[in-house]
Amino acid sequence: MLYFKTDEEVGFLRESNLLVSRTLGEIAALIKPGVTTLYLDKIAEEFIRDNGAVPGFKGYGGFPGTLCTSVNDEVVHGIPSGYMLKEGDIISIDCGVILNGWYGDSAYTFAVGHISEDVQRLLDYTRAALEEGVKEAVAGNRVGDISFAVQSKAESGGYSVVRELVGHGLGRKLHEQPEVANWGKKGSGPKMEKGLVICIEPMINAGKKETLQMGDGWTIKTADGMPSAHFEYAVAVDRGKADVLTTFEYIDQVLNKK
């Protein structure tokens, strides 16, 4: 069952997702060689709590962190640890908050120092695939239109789309209906109407699409050890044009100064 939000409820979700966006901006300023993922996690939790919210992921299904920190060939759900970031790494940081009872959820893949042109191209294509998906999140379209747009962009760059993980509806729960796959057919899936809020989150691999779950029960890696990238927006479906509740502008401001 799809839950369509009122304009007021979309407003609450906008506030939650703006806080996630600001949190990722704070983290962007700290990412450099020598920093541990656990330190990033600590700073994120402090920032979220200082802004009157609570971490959305901590304790969710038993997850121990505020952030999912997934490095290089880790696709998603990496657990913050004493791992020290190295020059040339990439790190997907997925962050969730609960503010006034509503969830925010967004992810961004960062370069640590200087990365290779090949890896930068993967990041660029994954972010572009997200933007293509967002264009389809309009009333009257179907969820499969988003899926098809994401897949088409990713595969046009020679990349593969992870199949085991999908985007999702967002509201008072972190994961609501519908599932938003990153692959699929145009014109398939549930019909979208104004007020549906979804997370679109391409998870794109440089190599093959297959993944493995690690022994910690959370971390998902590429089966071939090739890098993976992940970007995520929360989006409210609207008439004519999607209403993106997340913004990367705080991250971009920081990265443009680096």
In a domain, 72, yes or no: yes
pLDDT, tens digit (0-9, with 9 covering 90-100), for 48-97 = 999 999 999 999 999 999 999 999 999 999 999 999 999 999 999 999 99
- Predicted TM-score (pTM) of the model is 0.98
Q: Is residue 190 part of a domain?
A: yes
- CATH number for 211: 3.90.230.10
In order of 34, 87, 177, 185, 195, the CA distances from 149 in angstroms are 37, 33, 20, 9, 21
Residue 238 lies in a domain: yes
CA proximity to 227, closest of 152, 149, 131, 122: 122
Q: Is residue 2 part of a domain?
A: no
Element (H, E) at 17: helix 7-28
Strand ranges of the sheet holding 233-236, from the earlier edge strand across to the other edge: 176-180, 167-169, 197-200, 233-236, 243-244
pLDDT in tens, the chain (258 residues): 899 999 999 999 999 999 999 999 999 999 999 999 999 999 999 999 999 999 999 999 999 999 999 999 999 999 999 999 999 999 999 999 999 999 999 999 999 999 999 999 999 999 999 999 999 999 999 999 999 999 999 999 999 999 999 999 999 999 999 999 999 999 999 999 999 999 999 999 999 999 999 999 999 999 999 999 999 999 999 999 999 999 999 999 999 997
Range of the domain at 119: 7-257
Per-residue model confidence (pLDDT) at position 258: 76
Q: What domain count does the chain have?
A: 1
- On whether the CB atoms of residues 117 and 108 are closer than 8 A, the answer is no
Which pLDDT score is estimated for 148?
98
Phi-psi group of 244: left, alpha or beta (phi > 0 → left; psi -120 to 50 → alpha; rest → beta): beta
> Is residue 74, in this structure, part of any structural domain at all?
yes
Instruction: Give the tens place of pLDDT for each residue, 7-29.
Output: 999 999 999 999 999 999 999 99
- Euclidean distance between CA atoms 197 and 45, whole angstroms: 25
Give the separation between CA 87 and CA 43, rounded to whole angstroms. 21
- Amino acid type, 133: G
Residue 1 lies in a domain: no
